[in-house]
Structure 1
Amino acid sequence: MLEVRPSSNEVVVGPREALAVAELAGRRVSWAGIPPVDAEAGFACGVQVRAHGDPVPATAVLRGGELVVRPDVPLDGVAPGQSAVLYRGTRVLGQCTIDRTVSATLAAVD
């Protein structure tokens, strides 16, 4: 299952490769202290999407109040409602609740 669309009562299915996420984003952002000075220009960071997972290298940008994160390597099994926590080294920069994701297979077409 790739997506659930409650408004139209649809479930979207597809190949396993389509589960890989190239981008995730959320509007409910909270910073651990002062936001990075380069937040609107984009900055390198680590992103963690699982409580016991390790952060993976990524690039993040704050765009119009939405935090957009692009992991260097697509992530599997990321869904809206999860938290994405940003790090610089071992320091937590902030987090967002994921509102949307972009499939790596769709991102490759763009």
Structure 2
Amino acid sequence: MSFHHRTAVIALLALGLLPSVATASSDDAWAAMRADVSAKCLKAAAGSIDKPKAVVDPFGSESFGLALVSGKPKGAKGKITQICVYNKQTKTVELGGELTEAMLKAKAK
């Protein structure tokens, strides 16, 4: 095998590995973002929900991470859900109002 042929084969093999490396770091970055969204949304909801649970949108929107945080309202019965919006630039969260089970099951008019 000539030097140029060997070099070409090595270059092609190296290029074949690049997409998997980029995908891995991208997957890691998405996982880190989802973990941060969950942690910050749960912390924000802890003031109004006993033992809150978060369901994080896997990718959110272009600018925001999104999650639904649910649980028993503090000092009350039932279950509430709040929409949590995570700003991807500032890494801060804001919670929407308390949505009751009846509100979530209501049919659109």
The answer, yes or no, to whether TM exceeds 0.5 is no
Bigger share in helix: 2
Which has the greater radius of gyration? 2
Which protein has greater RCO, CA pairs closer than 8 Å, 6+ apart? 1
